[in-house]
Amino acid sequence: MSNPATAQWPRTIPRLDSQDPYLRILFITIFVRDFERSIQFYVGQLGFNLLFDSRVGTGRFVVVGPPDGSATLSLAEVTPGAKEYESIGRSPTIVFLSENVVAKYEQWRDRGVHFSEPPHKPVWGGLYASLEDPDGNSLKLVESDDLSRNLDRERKSLAEKIAQERRSAQELEFAKQVQARLFPQILPQLESLEYAGACIQAREVGGDYYDFLSLGPQRLGLVLGDISGKGMPAALLMANLQANLRSQYVGAWKEPKQFLESVNRLFYQNTVESAYATLFFAEYDDNARRVRYANCGHYSALLLRAAGRVERLDSTSTVLGLFDEWKCETDERDLGPGDTLVLYTDGVTESFDGDGQEFGEGRLIETLQRNLSSRPQEVVSTVVNEVRTFSPHEQHDDITLIVAKCTAGY
């Protein structure tokens, strides 16, 4: 279990190529006579951070460390008579690296720190100065040209990393804005069908897709797809699929099978071999109140009849993008006033609670049946809220659905 009191302790990153168990110095113990006096010296005068100060058992545990680096010092207060008391002032010399010993010397001296040796050059080169803490423990400041160059390289590398992360964040935000424009911006009006959709993405960009296509007078295309993969690769494939659908959908209501076969062919030719998408395409005839659909390897759509019966619109063909030669079949259903068609992706039913239980199709149907009298946009919002309440932890998959309800119409 994590300890919030140690959350600010310095961290280091273990080497990825290391075969040995990770190991680093956590802290070095210095015996002192008075905690408050030592804390004032290290924190108040030297500018160290107070990393930990808490009661541990019957004693007090204090850890301090310089603002940069991973070195930490544990201050251990001992009283006369304790066997460790004779160790006060006899701790091994602790050496701190600085890129500018003179500047640090002047800073600390202005704060009242006494140096036993001012900055000077030793025979090995570089620069160092000596001082003691209030208990006589020996400290040294060291400056080295080689180490300073390494520090400069590390700073440059860190600056470049921060700049790259900033550029990546900006590019990702731009991609998010671009993808948002790929979702339907205009909802064609129909006399006998009211509908709504939503996509709540797990990341900045994702691979779920829904669309509403105007297929001609009194005809509407309802599209919902799920691209293989996640993140930016899935988002690029989603954009590819959306472009293929939108470039081919003219006349789709006349020949939906040929339309989808053409979309599959383009998707297959323009993507890598492993890329594929599940897709549900439904063409609604406003005059006849009839929906003709193709379920391409997607979850079964749910058709909730006004009387309460639930029908599943199962797969009529396999997924898009894996096969050049791909055949599509369609099926159809007549809708009556109050009938509701629901399309959704796995982010709805495969959301998990803290015990590993799925939201599942059963809970989805229960939610829909409780809200049959509501308008589609309200139903969409209710489903999303119930899924998020059921699975309050980090969202792992896009939550996407379409709700279309047949009204009294003419």
Note the pTM of the prediction, 2 decimals.
0.63
- Tokens standing for 199? 């996509």
Higher pLDDT, 254 or 335: 335
Alpha-carbon distance values, 3 to 15, 54, 63 (Å):
24, 12, 14
Which residues on adjacent β-strands are paired with residue 115? 131
Locus of tokens 């063909």: 317
Phi-psi region of 61 (alpha: psi -120 to 50; beta: other; left: phi over 0): beta
Domain ranges for the chain: 25-151, 174-406
* Calpha distance 164→320 (Å, rounded): 36
Q: Look at residues 406, 143, 118 and name the one whose alpha carbon lies nearest to residue 289.
A: 406
The size of the chain, in residues, is 410
Alpha-carbon distance values, 50 to 7, 10, 29, 339 (Å):
12, 11, 15, 66
- Tokens standing for 172? 């990702």
Find out if CATH 3.10.180.10 is the number for domain 25-151: yes
Residue 8 pLDDT greater than 60, yes or no: no
Helix (H, G, I), strand (E, B) or coil at 335: coil
Q: Which of 230-234, 276-280, 302-306, 326-330 has the highest mean pLDDT?
A: 302-306
- Tokens standing for 304? 């909730």
Residue 145 pLDDT greater than 50, yes or no: yes
Over residues 355-393, the pLDDT tens digits come to: 889 899 999 999 999 998 899 999 999 999 999 999 888
Mean pLDDT, the chain, as a whole number? 84
CA dihedral (110, 113, 118, 123) positive or negative: negative
Residues 32/77, Cβ–Cβ less than 8 Å: yes
Residues 130/114, Cβ–Cβ less than 8 Å: no
Question: In CATH, which superfamily holds the domain spanning 174-406?
Answer: PPM-type phosphatase domain (3.60.40.10)
Alpha-carbon distance values, 234 to 169, 292, 318 (Å):
18, 28, 19
* Calpha distance 129→334 (Å, rounded): 89
Over residues 234-253, the pLDDT tens digits come to: 777 788 888 878 877 776 67
Grade residue 396 by pLDDT with cuts at 50, 70 and 90: confident
Residues 209/223, Cβ–Cβ less than 8 Å: yes
User: What pLDDT is attached to residue 98?
Assistant: 86
Residue 286 pLDDT greater than 80, yes or no: yes
Half-sphere exposure of residue 289, counting CA atoms within 13 Å on the CB side? 17
Over residues 155-192, the pLDDT tens digits come to: 788 888 888 888 877 777 776 676 666 677 778 889 99
